[in-house]
Amino acid sequence: MAELRVPTVSLPAEVVDSGGRHSTGQVFVPALAPAHSGATRPEEWINTGGEFFPFLPEGTTNPVILNKDQVVMLAVGAPPDEDEAQEEEGLPRLQVSIECGEQRFEGTLLLDLREGHRRVLDYLNRPERFLLLFDGSRRLLVRKHAITRLHEGPEGG
């Protein structure tokens, strides 16, 4: 049955769950993306079907299965690939601070929407389950239903 497995790439990750627990480890994304060259991007992977995904906690050999609805934030170490950097060139960027109850996350929102619909509100109302923020070489994937507030600009700004 091993021949039926989808080849994957492991990426370093940190998960914050709805109980406030922080865990570090690895997630696994498909090695080939259907819409572009290279591996599937974390935001493409997390926003696809399926309610659960495997997470390998640091220092263990057996993965745990996590429920996407219980994930508040998933930070994945995945710098942009060459194709992605070209796609993002010239798009507006906005520094935001997001509150999810007591949890706070900051990063850059890339407003990859059509002209005239590039408000943060338009981006939040897209159908994807998770919002993508960039924080250096990490991607912060924040579950939209967990967001209680979003501030444009850095926290307290």
The CATH number given to whatever domain includes residue 100 is 2.30.30
Contact assessment for residue 142 and residue 133, using Cβ atoms and an 8 Å cutoff: yes
Contact assessment for residue 15 and residue 76, using Cβ atoms and an 8 Å cutoff: no
In this structure, are 71 and 118 located in the same domain?
no
State both tokens at 69: 């609805």
Q: From residue 105, give the alpha-carbon distance in Å to each of 32, 81, 101, 127.
A: 29, 24, 11, 21
Going by pLDDT thresholds of 50, 70 and 90, the confidence category of residue 156 is: low
Going by pLDDT thresholds of 50, 70 and 90, the confidence category of residue 93 is: confident
In this structure, are 29 and 86 located in the same domain?
no
Region 51-63 average pLDDT: 97
Going by pLDDT thresholds of 50, 70 and 90, the confidence category of residue 117 is: low
Task: Kindly compute the dihedral angle of the four CA atoms of residues 24, 79, 43, 40, in this order, to the nearest 10 degrees.
Answer: -100
Containing domain of residue 19, as a range? 7-76
CA distance 112 to 43: 13
What are the E-state strand segments in 18-144?
Answer: 22-30, 52-57, 64-67, 71-77, 93-100, 103-110, 130-135, 138-143
Out of 39-48, 57-66, 106-115, 128-137, pick the least confident. Answer: 106-115
In this structure, are 90 and 114 located in the same domain?
yes
Contact assessment for residue 72 and residue 16, using Cβ atoms and an 8 Å cutoff: yes
Number of domains in the chain: 2
